Chains A and B, each alone.
Chain A
């Protein structure tokens, strides 16, 4: 029974997606209604996930699935974040598509399919399952990115993402094949046992692990596989960008952490590699972000930096007693801040996303003080200023890094966050210290703004009551 309950959220979302897909065939339903439906399903799944909770690690349906799926506190938290992201994305999409009219019913269905893939990915304990989940997720995201077919940047974005994503998928398959050849299994646990019994220094295992790491690093936009992220985030519709930046990253980091934590030997073998990747990701991301003039591009680049912080946490995870609490907490904090700012951009952006650059937001605080205050809170959270969630997230990550003996990495992380102050403060300065040049009138539904303010509360709530799993 508990097995069934723990995958119930996944089933709910899947059922909702199929339902919406069927409904869209009749062409009777309004797009707004579809967004309410998907909100309802995301909300229901969120509460089920919360109520079911999850005790210790459980193999779900061990006979039927042969240990392919496992739930733990960590997957539960990752699932909650993904479901929450889905809910708030549907909320901001509702407002966004009131003024940008290219949405059809399938949008929400595909988004929910994507969420299914993500939920599956967090639970995956085996490479083939992970690959299938990864592809379900990626295919949905490809479609969402290119949803506005008439838009050139959007088309460019999907082309870039699809080509490179396909390569990453191919790398992942290749890595799976090589690891299977080396270790004789695709299950994380059995790979781990094989490596600790023998040695990881087999050519097949080294190459396999390398390919799989490349695929993961591509999906989280880590250096040197980060170049796509700026253009893709820029080309996608704002709510989709928010969804990609948060839910997708959560799912991939969850499976990444599971993969590394269960293979202690593998983790220690690749730790130097991950160390340099983390450092270069942070500093590379900062350099890109400092030069941007468009908000979405800046946020995309700051997403790279946050991937770098999460990589610090990955370097610091200990295989012996892995709980994923630091990563889970940071992902939640990051998701609340990022989703919030994208929700705000969804309704402030206006028709055709006409307000997109820093200069377009000059003097926002004079005209719409509450929106400007909300954006400020999100930016401060991303910058890691107390008492927001981002501060506690950064605190945990630095603590875990220093505890793991990675003091140099912790200091470099701090230096990187000093650099990142530049572009976060820049937006605050633009909003507050300049005179308003326009009236920032927005039409459409108030749902996105409601979502924005709910997320402000989330940012403070997560920050002040840091519940560690």
Chain B
């Protein structure tokens, strides 16, 4: 029954969004239509999650030739690596449509297009198809920040767009280099990621291509030296866009590394792993420290999100099963915690007209339900045991220590920074003095409570029963790590020069 499920999940939102743009309908109708579409995707996503066997291979495969002269296929599929990323893209959207009721129809349309393109990028098994969706998903973000963003939206839009497009065009060159190398080595054209894994790349151009790929993904994640677009874009973007950016789009950067870079460039990846993981840890610390100093709540969350992306990326670079599983788990956990926190801040901004931490205070006395929800999401974000954030961070730090003790210790200590800025912010905003603004704050309405309850429950369920999720992703992670190790080991074995005096037969 799920033969074309992925295609439907990709093109239903895109077509609905385009139709919304083309036909003159009211904003209310647009919102309802968007909500219906996102609910359909949600149910398909849940059904897919339950149905997913977790055997490690690709499921729901779709493949048909598209441009045969270059071996480009329309290939889709889901495996343990993409499953949770796909889930974050599929199940979190209805919230946006229920909570923000005052936007224009173009905004809802752009959100839907972004969702379709992101699901496309997550499911694509063909490198070119992935690239196409990867580029398309930037366009709605560009328009959403530029048209509906905050006062300083123009520089923010330009920054994120030029940054990202520069990265992706470099990736395009690298991607074509990979395809051409495959053609040179095997005589046929293909961009299918499974077959590209057989490539044996080497030499200066391979390193260059690897770096180009990594720059593209590092910009999107964002990894430490490439993060400068993030605070502006996250702060200026309208709430739902920030939510999409931090909750899902950043994850696709990490996912892209796991899916497309690691299988093709095993050797280069292994060689650069230490450097990259240092960048991850540096990003964690730097962005965490920067978050402490922020006065604007949204900007603080932006830095906190960047800091968390550092640890998720670190899990990928450690190249062992624990860290990789932790990263994949943390992708979902981070989307449900930090993503939801952005929505909460958006709500506060809508009701109180400010995001300045200094202007707020005593919200918890007026709105206990809201404060409880906020606290749960926040504690998940800092990784309290019993919430989703703990499992992911624990696994990543475990893997990091296994990979390199120094990195592991650094990662472990910088988690504490997260606790500092989050709790301090919570104290200043929700307790301490009350002011008039906070006195007028309305607690969550019933419809909003209903919207947030499933996510809050999900956060706790992921923390208490992590095995439900981990068992679906672990086989794929094991497979991935095993493949990389097989490749790097064989390469090392091939290049070993027998040294005199060393008994080679003993091994």
Contacts and interface: CB of A to CB of B under 8 A. Distances in A.
Contact of B205 (A391, A407, A432): A407
Nearest to B134: A386
Nearest to B209: A407
A429 B172 contact: no
Given A385-B139, A418-B166, A429 B176 contact: no
Contacts of A292: none
A418 B165 contact: yes
A17 B131 CA distance: 46
A418 B169 contact: yes
Contacts of A387: 132, 136
A386 B176 contact: no
Contacts of A402: 173, 176-177, 180
Contacts of B169: 384, 414, 417-418
A468 B131 contact: no
Contacts of B69: 468
A414 B170 contact: yes
Nearest to B138: A385
Nearest to A411: B173
Contacts of B146: 429, 432-433
Nearest to A397: B176
Given A411-B173, A411-B208, 15 more contacts: A385-B139, A386-B136, A399-B180, A402-B177, A414-B172, A418-B162, A418-B165, A418-B166, A418-B169, A418-B170, A421-B161, A421-B165, A425-B162, A432-B143, A432-B146
Interface string A416-434: 0110011001000100110
Contacts of A399: 70, 176, 179-180
Contacts of B274: none
A53 B157 CA distance: 47
Nearest to B161: A425
B183 interface: yes
B158 A410 contact: no
**Interface size class of chain B, counting residues whose CB lies under 8 Å from the partner chain:** 20 to 34
Nearest to B143: A432
A380 to B, nearest CB: 8
B301 to A, nearest CB: 25
A398 interface: yes
A403 interface: yes
A131 interface: no
Interface string A387-405: 1000110110011001100
B99 to A, nearest CB: 25
Contacts of A184: none
B173 A398 contact: yes
Interface in B130-181: 131-132, 135-136, 139, 143, 146-147, 153-154, 157-158, 161-162, 165-166, 169-170, 172-173, 176-177, 179-180
Nearest to A398: B176
A433 B154 contact: yes
A417 B176 CA distance: 16
Contacts of A429: 146, 154, 157-158
17 contacts: A380-B139, A387-B136, A391-B135, A402-B180, A410-B176, A411-B208, A414-B172, A418-B162, A418-B166, A421-B161, A421-B165, A425-B158, A425-B162, A429-B146, A433-B147, A468-B67, A468-B69
Interface in B272-309: none
A395 B169 CA distance: 10
Nearest to A405: B180
Contacts of A392: 67
B92 interface: no
Interface string B50-66: 00000000000000000
Interface string A362-400: 000000000001000000100011110001101100110
A224 interface: no
Contacts of B67: 392, 466, 468
B128 interface: yes
A407 B131 contact: no
Chain B interface mostly: helix
A386 B161 CA distance: 15
A422 B162 CA distance: 8
- Of the listed residues A392, A394, A402, the one surrounded by the most CB atoms of chain B closer than 10 A to its CB is A402
A410 B132 contact: no
Contacts of A385: 135, 139, 165
A303 B422 CA distance: 52
B205 to A, nearest CB: 6
Interface residues of A, number: 28
A97 B173 CA distance: 44
A410 B183 CA distance: 17
Nearest to A383: B165
Contacts of A417: 169
B177 A407 contact: yes
Contacts of A411: 173, 208
B172 A395 contact: yes
Given A402-B177, A417-B169, A391 B157 contact: no
Interface string B227-251: 0000000000000000000000000
Contacts of B162: 418, 421-422, 425
A40 B179 CA distance: 44
Contacts of A398: 172-173, 176
A229 B162 CA distance: 28
Closest 6 CB pairs of A and B: A386-B132, A414-B173, A433-B146, A402-B180, A418-B166, A468-B69
B216 to A, nearest CB: 11
A403 B180 contact: yes
Nearest to A421: B165
B180 A391 contact: no
A113 B69 CA distance: 37
B307 to A, nearest CB: 28
A375 to B, nearest CB: 14
A340 to B, nearest CB: 18
Contacts of B147: 432-433
Contacts of B157: 429, 433
B165 to A, nearest CB: 5
Given A425-B162, A432-B147, A466-B67, A391 B176 contact: no
Interface string A344-377: 0000000000000000000000000000010000
B20 to A, nearest CB: 12
B154 A395 contact: no
Nearest to A373: B21
Contacts of B153: 433
B155 to A, nearest CB: 11
B64 to A, nearest CB: 13
A156 B477 CA distance: 68
Interface in B384-398: none
Nearest to A433: B146
A82 B221 CA distance: 45
Contacts of A373: 21
A252 B83 CA distance: 51
Interface in A106-148: none
B481 to A, nearest CB: 31
Nearest to B70: A399
Nearest to A414: B173
A369 B135 CA distance: 22
B128 to A, nearest CB: 7
A195 to B, nearest CB: 29
A387 B137 CA distance: 11
A433 B139 CA distance: 14
Contacts of B180: 399, 402-403
A410 B173 contact: yes
Most A Cβ at <10 Å: residue of B146, B153, B172:
B172
Which one of B162, B165, B176 has the greatest number of beta carbons of chain A within 10 Å?
B176
A415 to B, nearest CB: 8
A182 B70 CA distance: 41
Interface in B22-81: 67, 69-70
Contacts of B177: 402, 407, 410
B362 to A, nearest CB: 38
Given A386-B135, A466-B67, A403 B183 contact: yes
